[in-house]
Structure 1
Amino acid sequence: MGSTETRKTPRLAVLVGIAAASVGVIYGYDLSNIAGAMLFIPKEFDLDTAGVQWITTMVVIGEIAGAIIGGWLANRIGRKKSVVLVAVTYAVFALMCALSVSVPMLMVARLLLGLTIGVSVVVVPVFVAESSPADIRGSLLVAYQVATVVGIIIGYLAAYALAASGGWRWMLGLAAVPAVVVALILMRMPDTARWYMLKGRTEEARRTLRMVEPAADVDAELAEISRALHEERGGALREMLRPPYLRATVFVVVLGFFIQITGINAIVYYSPKLFEAMGFHGNFALLILPALVQVAALIAVFVSLVLVDRLGRRPILLGGIAMMVLANALLIGVFVAGENFGGALTALGFIGVLLFTVGFTFGFGALVWVYAGESFPSRLRSMGSSAMLTSDLVANAIVAGFFLTMLQTLGGSGTFAVFGALALLAFVFVYKFAPETKGRQLEDIRHFWENGGQWPAVSASGAEAETTGR
C-alpha cells in the first residue's frame, strides 16, 4: 500500500501546480482578445492611433499597480485566496468591459481588469513554486506559460468567430468564463506549506506537505522552512535592497524589463495591424494567422516544459533569445526589401513573426515564471516576484503605448532594429548573470546570492556546483 501512495505522489503535486497555472488562460485570453476587439472599437468610439494605444495600455497600467500590491496581498491573505480573489474580480471587470458605453468607462474597466491580472502574475508563480517538489518545479512553472499561450489562442479564435458580426462586446465579455472556471477549481486547493509556516500554522503546513510530497521527510522540511524564515531579518523591502539579496533584486528587475521591452506584446496586442503592414487582409488573415503563430508557440513551450528540468534554465533561455535575434534580423530584411509586400516577401514576414514568437515562448515566456518563483527565499519570494513582474509590466506599458507610433515613424525596419538591439543586450545579460537553478531546493538557492553570484563548491544540501559557475 505504501508503494502505491508513493506512485501517486507526483499526481497530487501536479494537480496543485496545474490548477494554479490555469490562471494563465485568463491572462492569455486578455492579451489576444483585445487585438480582435480593436478591429471594431475604434470605429464605434471614433478613436485615432493614440486612442487605440491608450485603451490597449490601460490594462497594463492596471497590471503595474496589481504587481506592486501582489506580493503584499499574497503574504497577507495567502497565495490561494489571492488567486481566487483575482479570478472572481476578473470575471466582474470583464463583464464591465463588455457593457461599456463610453471610452472613459471602457478605460476604467480595462484599468481594473489589469489590476487583477497584475496580482495574478505575481502570486501564481509563488503558489506554484511553493507547491511543487524540486524535481518537477520548473516544469510546473512552465505549465503556467502553456496555459497562457492556450488562452491567447482561444482569444484569437473567439475574436475570429465573432468578427463577422462585429461582436467586440462578446469578445471581451467571454473572458469571464475561464475566470469563473479557474475560481471553482482553486477554491478546493490548500495554500502552500511555506505560507502556513510564515503565519505560524504548523499543523496545516504539515498536512499540505504530506499531500504534495507524502514520501518526503515532512519534519525535516518544516524545520528547514522554519530555519530559513528565522534567518531572514528585517523588513522584506529593506532586505531586498541590501546584500546579499540586492544582487538577486537587480537581476530579476533587469530580467523582467528585458522580457517585455524586446517586443513580444507588440506582436500579441497589435498583430492585426502588423500583418496589415506586411500585406495581409481580411479577418481570417488578421486573426487566424496570429492564432497559428501561437499554436507554434504552444509547441515550443511544451518542448521547453520537457527540457527545463533536464537541460536546465540557462540553455533554454539563451536559445530562445538567440531565436528572437534571428527573427528580428529577418523582419528587418523583409521591411527593407520593399514597401509593396506580396508573395514570398509577405510569407517571409509571417515566418519572422513566427520565429520571434516561438523564440520568446521557448525562452523568456517559459522561464520568467521559473525565475520569478525561484530567485528568492520564502519570506522574500512574493515581494521578489512583485518586483520582477512590476519591471516586466513597466516595459510592457512602454511597448503597448508606443509600438504603433514607432511603426508609423520608424517603419518596420527601424522598429525591429530597436527590438533586435534590445534582444542582443538581453542575451549578454542572461549569459553573464542568470543562475542555473535546476534541481536545487528552494531554500538552497539563496547560497548563490550569498556567494557573490556564484554557486559555492558545495551547497547546503550537498549538491556540487555547476561547472559553469552559474
Structure 2
Amino acid sequence: MLTAKLPLLGKRHRMQVLVALTYHIMNFAHGLGIGWVSPTVQIIQSPETPLSFPVTVEQVSWIGSLFGFGFLSGNILFGLTANRLSRKLNMYLLALPNMLFWILNYFVQNVEYLYAGRFFAGVTSGGLFVIAPIFFSEILDKDVRGTLMSMGMMFLSCGVLIGFILPTKVDYYLTPCIGLALPIIYVVVFCFFPETPQSLLRSGRFTEAETAFNFYKGIDNGVNVQLSRRVEESKTATEVQSEFEFPFSDPCATSLLKKSTKAKMVRKQGLTIFSKRYRMQILVTLAAHIMTLSHGIGLGWLSPTLLILQSPRSPLEFKVAVEDVSWIGSIFGLGSLSSNIFFGLLAARIARKTNMYLLAIPHMLFWILNYFAQSVEYFYASRFFAGLTSGGLYVIGPVFISEISAKEIRGALTSLAMMFYSCGILIGFILPSYLDYHLIPCIVIFLSIIYFAVLSLFPDTPGSLLERGQLEEAEKAFNFYNNIDRKGTVRELCVNELQTSTAMSAFEELKASKLKGGKATSITLQDFFNKSALKKFAIAFVLCLQNQFSSSFAFVNYMSHIFAESGSTLNPQDCTIFVGVVQILCTLLASILVEKFGRKTLMLASTAGMALGMFGFGAFVQFTDDATKAEYNWVPLVAVAFVTATASFGVISLTFTIIVEILPAKIRAQAQSIAMMFCSIMVFITLKLYPYFLFNLGISITMYSCASSCVFTGVYLLIFLPETKGKSMAND
C-alpha cells in the first residue's frame, strides 16, 4: 500500500505532520531574515539607501558577527529553560526574538538597531537548534521523525531564497511587515496543538499526557483500532499503546517485543535507502562528501572570480591576461593527473581511511595560496593543488564509498557525490558576488578541518582491513556499517534477522573474495592485459572521453564567459547562479532515479540530451542576428540550463560510479587510478583547448564539436556498456 511505502501519508501520522509543518513556519521566517540581510546590507551601503545614516564596512562586519553572539545566548537561554518550562511554552518563546528582529529593523534609527536585530536573529537560531529537536523527538514516530525533522532545512533554505529576492522587489519597510506576520501566524496555529506527552508526564498530568499521546498518534480513545488499520500503519494497537505506557523503557526490550511484526513488514516492503541498516553507510558518505562540497566551492568560485580579476575592480595588484586564464584552467588537469598517480600508488599500500584524510591537505593549500596571492604563479600553484584534490576524490572516493555501502544503495550513495559537488559549485558561483575576495578562503578552509574531524569518528572500510589481513577488525567494521552487533543480531535501531542474514552473507562473500584475490594472490601484468580487463578499460576510457569532451566540466569553469560570449544581455553572474541551482536539482534527481532505471538508461538519455541542447545552442548563436539575440536573450540561459540538467543526471553524476563498478575487483584500486590518470589528461586537454575554441572559433563551433563527441561516445556506450545496477563489488 502507498502508506506502507510513504509513512507520512498514513492517518496515524497526520497530526505529527501538521505540527511539524506549523513549526516549520518559524524555520521559514528565520530563513527569510537570514537571507534578507545579505542584499539589504548592500542596499544600505549604496547611495540609494532608504536609511538616514551611513553603514560602514566595519559596521557590516559587526552586523554579521553579532548573529554568533545571539546564537550562543540562545543556546544558553533555551538550554536553561528546556526542562524548567514546558516544551510548548519554549516553542512559543522562539517567536519572540524573531518578532523583535523585524520590529527593530522597521524602526531603525541608527546602526545599533541593526546590531540588536541581528543579535535577536541569533537568539532565534540558537533556540531553534535546542528546543525543536527535543520537541520533535517527543511527538514523532521513529519512522517519520527523520523526514519531518530534515524538512526544517528545506523550509529554512526556502526562507533564505525568498529573503534574497524580497529586497530587490519590495520597499525596505515592507519586508519587516511581511516577516512579522509569520511568527504571529506560527503562535496562533501552534495554540491548537497539545503539549508533548513526556512534558506532561514530568508534570504529573497523566490523563492529559495520554490524551496528548493519542492525539499525536491518531488514536481514537472510543474506538478499537481495526486490523486493517494496523496493517496499513505498520503497528498494532498494543505496540502503540506500549509506547505510551513505557515511554522511558529499555529500547532493547521494546525491540524484542516488536521483532516478529517488524520481520513481516521488512519481508513485505524490502530494503530501501531509508532502512536503518544503512544509517552508518549514509552518515559516513555524507561525511566524505564534505570534501566534495568544499572542492566544488573551489571550482565554482573560479569562474566569477576570473571575471572580477580581469576587470578594473580586481582586488589584486596584478593583472590576469587571457593566456593566464587558459593556463589557470588547464593546469588543474596536470594536478589531477599527478594525483591519480600519487593516490593510485598509495591506494593499495595504505588504508583507505588514511587516503581519505590526505585529500584535505592539497585542498587547504589551494585556499591558502589564493589568500596570499602575489602573482599569477600563485594561481597556477593553487589550481594544481585543486587538481590534486580532484584526482584523489575520483580515485579514492568511489572506492571508499563502494566498499562500505550495500549494493542496493551503492548507486544512490556514489551519485550523491555529484549533488554535493554541484551544491559546492553553486555556492562558489554566489560567494564572489557577496563576499570580499580575501574572506572566502578563510571561510571555506574550515570545511577541510570539519571533514577531517568527522571522518575520524568512523572505522576503515572492511575491504581495506581484509586486504591487510585484519580479519577481526574487518568484521567489526562491516558490522558497524551494517548496524549489526558482534553476536550477529541486529541492533534495536536497525533491522531484523532477514537483514542480518543478508548482510552477513555479503561479508562472507567479501572475505572470500579478498582472501582469494587480495594479499594471498599477487597482482601481475596479466591481470591488466587479459581480454576481459582490456574491454573494461576501453569502456572506462570512453566514459572519461565523454565526460570531458562533452564539456560537462568545462561548462563549470567557463560558464560566465559562455554567457558573456553568447550575445545575451542577461547578467552572466545571475545566469551562472541559476544554472547552478538547476545542476543541484538534477544531480539530486539522479540519486533518486539511478536505482530505479539503472545506470545505462540514464547515461544514454543524458548523452542524447546534451547533444541535442548543444546543437540547438550552437545553431541559435550562428543563425540569428544581433536584434534577434537581444529579443530572445533568454535562449542562451535555457540552452545552457538544459545542457547542464541533462548532463547532471547522467554524464556528471554517474560516470565515476559506473567506472568503479565495471573495473575488475582484483585490480580495482589500481585500475581506477589508471582510468583517472587518463581522465586527468583529458581534463588538461579540454581546459587548455576550450578557451581557444570559445574565444577564437566561437560558441557555435565549440558547441558543435562537443555535441559531436556526445554522439560518437553515446553510440559506443549503447553497444558495449553493460548495466551495473545491483552488481556485487566482490566479484567481476
TM-score under structure 2 length normalisation? 0.57
| Preserved contact between residue 88 and residue 183 of structure 1 (Cα < 8 Å) | no
| 1:229, distance to aligned residue in structure 2 (A) | 1.8
Q: Which amino acid aligns with 1:32?
A: G
| Preserved contact between residue 144 and residue 369 of structure 1 (Cα < 8 Å) | no
| Preserved contact between residue 509 and residue 730 of structure 2 (Cα < 8 Å) | no
Cα distance in 1 for residues equivalent to 2:518 and 2:461: 18
Deviates more, 1:390-399 or 1:94-103: 390-399
| Preserved contact between residue 347 and residue 355 of structure 2 (Cα < 8 Å) | yes
**CA distances 1:287-338 after superposition (whole Å, capped 9, x unpaired):** 2321211211221122211111121111110111111011111111211123
2:708 maps to which residue? 421
One of 344, 348, 351 as aligned partner of 1:71:
344
Cα distance in 1 for residues equivalent to 2:665 and 2:683: 27
- In structure 2, the CA distance between the partners of 1:130 and 1:236, relative to structure 1 (3 Å rule), is farther
| Preserved contact between residue 466 and residue 511 of structure 2 (Cα < 8 Å) | no
- In structure 2, the CA distance between the partners of 1:307 and 1:414, relative to structure 1 (3 Å rule), is same
| 1:173, distance to aligned residue in structure 2 (A) | 5.0
1:181 maps to which residue? 450
| Preserved contact between residue 295 and residue 389 of structure 2 (Cα < 8 Å) | no
Deviates more, 1:320-329 or 1:287-296: 287-296
Matching of residue 303 in structure 1 with residue 605 in structure 2: no
2:421 maps to which residue? 148
Matching of residue 318 in structure 1 with residue 586 in structure 2: no
| Preserved contact between residue 539 and residue 717 of structure 2 (Cα < 8 Å) | no
One of 42, 52, 60 as aligned partner of 2:325:
52
Matching of residue 229 in structure 1 with residue 510 in structure 2: no
Matching of residue 207 in structure 1 with residue 480 in structure 2: no
One of 549, 553, 561 as aligned partner of 1:273:
561
| 1:232, distance to aligned residue in structure 2 (A) | 8.8
- SS, match of residue 596 in structure 2: coil
**CA distances 1:119-147 after superposition (whole Å, capped 9, x unpaired):** 12210011111110010000000111111
Q: Which amino acid aligns with 1:352?
A: A
**CA distances 1:183-219 after superposition (whole Å, capped 9, x unpaired):** 2221212111111111111111101111122322266
- In structure 2, the CA distance between the partners of 1:309 and 1:183, relative to structure 1 (3 Å rule), is same
Q: Which amino acid aligns with 1:223?
A: K
What is the correspondence of 1:2-41 to structure 2 with a 5 Å cutoff?
A: 3=259, 8-41=276-309
Q: Which amino acid aligns with 1:184?
A: A
1:130 maps to which residue? 403
| Preserved contact between residue 378 and residue 443 of structure 1 (Cα < 8 Å) | yes
| 1:99, distance to aligned residue in structure 2 (A) | 0.7
2:98 maps to which residue? none
- SS, match of residue 394 in structure 1: helix
- SS, match of residue 632 in structure 2: helix
| Preserved contact between residue 29 and residue 153 of structure 1 (Cα < 8 Å) | yes
| 1:42, distance to aligned residue in structure 2 (A) | 3.5
Cα distance in 2 for residues equivalent to 1:263 and 1:199: 40
One of 551, 563, 584 as aligned partner of 1:263:
551
Q: Which amino acid aligns with 1:297?
A: Q
| Preserved contact between residue 599 and residue 724 of structure 2 (Cα < 8 Å) | yes
Q: Which amino acid aligns with 1:427?
A: G
| Preserved contact between residue 552 and residue 652 of structure 2 (Cα < 8 Å) | no
| 1:403, distance to aligned residue in structure 2 (A) | 1.4
2:310 maps to which residue? 42
Cα distance in 1 for residues equivalent to 2:419 and 2:554: 20
Identical columns (%) = 23
What is the correspondence of 1:449-464 to structure 2 with a 5 Å cutoff?
A: none
Q: Which amino acid aligns with 1:28?
A: G
Cα distance in 2 for residues equivalent to 1:192 and 1:79: 7
| 1:102, distance to aligned residue in structure 2 (A) | 1.2
Deviates more, 1:350-359 or 1:79-88: 79-88
- SS, match of residue 287 in structure 2: helix
Cα distance in 1 for residues equivalent to 2:565 and 2:386: 30
- In structure 2, the CA distance between the partners of 1:230 and 1:104, relative to structure 1 (3 Å rule), is closer
Q: Which amino acid aligns with 1:272?
A: S
| Preserved contact between residue 661 and residue 727 of structure 2 (Cα < 8 Å) | no
Flag as ranges the 4+ runs of structure 1 deviating above 6 A.
none
- In structure 2, the CA distance between the partners of 1:109 and 1:266, relative to structure 1 (3 Å rule), is closer
Aligned residues: 439
| 1:149, distance to aligned residue in structure 2 (A) | 0.6
One of 365, 380, 387 as aligned partner of 1:92:
365
| Preserved contact between residue 121 and residue 389 of structure 1 (Cα < 8 Å) | yes
- SS, match of residue 100 in structure 1: coil
Matching of residue 247 in structure 1 with residue 535 in structure 2: yes
- SS, match of residue 323 in structure 2: helix
**CA distances 1:15-47 after superposition (whole Å, capped 9, x unpaired):** 122222332212311221111210133354323
**CA distances 1:256-283 after superposition (whole Å, capped 9, x unpaired):** 122111112222111111111123468x
Cα distance in 2 for residues equivalent to 1:414 and 1:260: 16
| Preserved contact between residue 567 and residue 630 of structure 2 (Cα < 8 Å) | no
Point out the structure with max Rg over C-alpha.
Answer: 2
| Preserved contact between residue 363 and residue 448 of structure 2 (Cα < 8 Å) | yes
| 1:393, distance to aligned residue in structure 2 (A) | 2.1
Cα distance in 1 for residues equivalent to 2:520 and 2:696: 50
| Preserved contact between residue 261 and residue 419 of structure 1 (Cα < 8 Å) | yes
- In structure 2, the CA distance between the partners of 1:363 and 1:55, relative to structure 1 (3 Å rule), is same
One of 664, 685, 689 as aligned partner of 1:402:
689
| 1:154, distance to aligned residue in structure 2 (A) | 0.8
Matching of residue 290 in structure 1 with residue 563 in structure 2: no
**CA distances 1:405-425 after superposition (whole Å, capped 9, x unpaired):** 112222111111101110101
**CA distances 1:149-175 after superposition (whole Å, capped 9, x unpaired):** 11111101112213xxxx434445543
Cα distance in 2 for residues equivalent to 1:46 and 1:130: 47
- In structure 2, the CA distance between the partners of 1:281 and 1:346, relative to structure 1 (3 Å rule), is closer
- In structure 2, the CA distance between the partners of 1:403 and 1:173, relative to structure 1 (3 Å rule), is farther
- SS, match of residue 366 in structure 2: helix
Cα distance in 2 for residues equivalent to 1:346 and 1:238: 57
Runs of 5+ consecutive residues of structure 1 not aligned to the other structure: 447-470
One of 679, 697, 715 as aligned partner of 1:392:
679
Cα distance in 2 for residues equivalent to 1:234 and 1:192: 21
Deviates more, 1:169-178 or 1:210-219: 169-178
| Preserved contact between residue 335 and residue 387 of structure 2 (Cα < 8 Å) | yes
The higher relative CO (CA closer than 8 Å, separation ≥ 6) is in 1
Root-mean-square deviation (CA), in Å? 2.3
Q: Which amino acid aligns with 1:212?
A: Y
Cα distance in 1 for residues equivalent to 2:443 and 2:549: 29
1:191 maps to which residue? 460
Cα distance in 1 for residues equivalent to 2:682 and 2:691: 15
Runs of 5+ consecutive residues of structure 2 not aligned to the other structure: 1-254, 267-274, 485-499
- In structure 2, the CA distance between the partners of 1:171 and 1:56, relative to structure 1 (3 Å rule), is farther
- In structure 2, the CA distance between the partners of 1:95 and 1:441, relative to structure 1 (3 Å rule), is same
| 1:97, distance to aligned residue in structure 2 (A) | 2.0
Deviates more, 1:69-78 or 1:259-268: 69-78
Q: Which amino acid aligns with 2:541?
A: V
Deviates more, 1:33-42 or 1:173-182: 173-182
Cα distance in 2 for residues equivalent to 1:368 and 1:237: 26
One of 362, 373, 380 as aligned partner of 2:667:
380
| Preserved contact between residue 194 and residue 225 of structure 1 (Cα < 8 Å) | no
Q: Which amino acid aligns with 2:466?
A: M
- SS, match of residue 442 in structure 1: coil
Cα distance in 2 for residues equivalent to 1:296 and 1:232: 48
| Preserved contact between residue 198 and residue 379 of structure 1 (Cα < 8 Å) | no
Deviates more, 1:109-118 or 1:171-180: 171-180
Cα distance in 2 for residues equivalent to 1:228 and 1:376: 17
Cα distance in 2 for residues equivalent to 1:50 and 1:139: 40
- In structure 2, the CA distance between the partners of 1:358 and 1:236, relative to structure 1 (3 Å rule), is farther
